[in-house]
Amino acid sequence: MAAVATMEGFEGYWGPPTATMDWCEGNYMVTPYAAEFFNSLTSMFIAVAGILPILIHFRRRDCMEWRFIIAFLSVTIVGLGSVAFHGTLLFEHQRWDQVPMLWTVAMILYVLFEQKHVQPAYRILPVALFVYAVVATLATSKRSGDMQWFSFHAFFGLATFLAVCKVTLFYRSLPTDMTELRKVMSYGFIALGVAITVWLMDLKLCNQLHMLPAYDYWNFHAWGWHLMVSCGLYNILIGIWYHRLKVVLEKDVSLCLSPLPHIAFVPPKLA
């Protein structure tokens, strides 16, 4: 996929790459046990971004609907799959990264479409999303070179485009006096915009970027894409959850912006 550097004449612990994608970071540059060490290491940002909201709000897990628990945990699974993929560059581990991405965006779509309804409003929605995710999984799990790359990005890109449209409409519908929520959502949009930009740069400008000093150690995919997409997902999902609690379910909550965006639950008043 991208031009990469590898230790000459050296084959790492996992053997030659069999994945249909090989990123700009040089293979086995740091240790023989990790194909793309920094890409693998920074994938943990994504895993943390998914589990952190559950840990922060664990005491009020009674207020966390299953749709949000599944969405957050799905993000964590994507992160762990990305660790395996970048760490080995094996096709079977590439699927551990890509398949959870497909199911995660499907889950986020469910959250977005049902955001303003107290009770599920679209009976066919979970069935349609499930079928889409199954078809996408089957289409992208078969090893077929460029066709696998195209299939994954077509299915994932379509679902992601729809999710971005829904989130954008959600943001535009927010009252101007919901200042904190609009800030959190804005942070998420900015982070995702930066993430996509550096992802494309790392993909398309690999040879040029390798002219920069020690690019393998601070490459855009690792320290740009992984970090920024983690921040973006965290902020946007926290914002959507807060809106549902505050506006739809009418819970007594507030949105705090520091040290990390989180939801504060107001304790019930004693009689």
Binding site residue list: 22-23, 25, 27, 36, 86, 221, 226
Do the beta carbons of residue 105 and residue 163 sit within 8 Å?
yes
The single-letter DSSP state of residue 205 is S
Own/partner contacts of 220-223, CB < 8 Å, gap of 24 or more, are 220/24, 221/23, 221/24, 221/25, 221/39, 222/25, 222/36, 222/38, 222/39, 222/41, 222/42, 223/38, 223/42
Binding site residue list for Zn(2+): 86, 221, 226
Q: How far is residue 54's CA from residue 270's CA, in Å, rounded to a whole number? A: 27
- The 3-state DSSP class for residue 256 equals strand
Structure-token pair, residue 165: 């449209």
Q: How far is residue 212's CA from residue 207's CA, in Å, rounded to a whole number? A: 10
Binding site residue list for Ca(2+): 22-23, 25, 27, 36
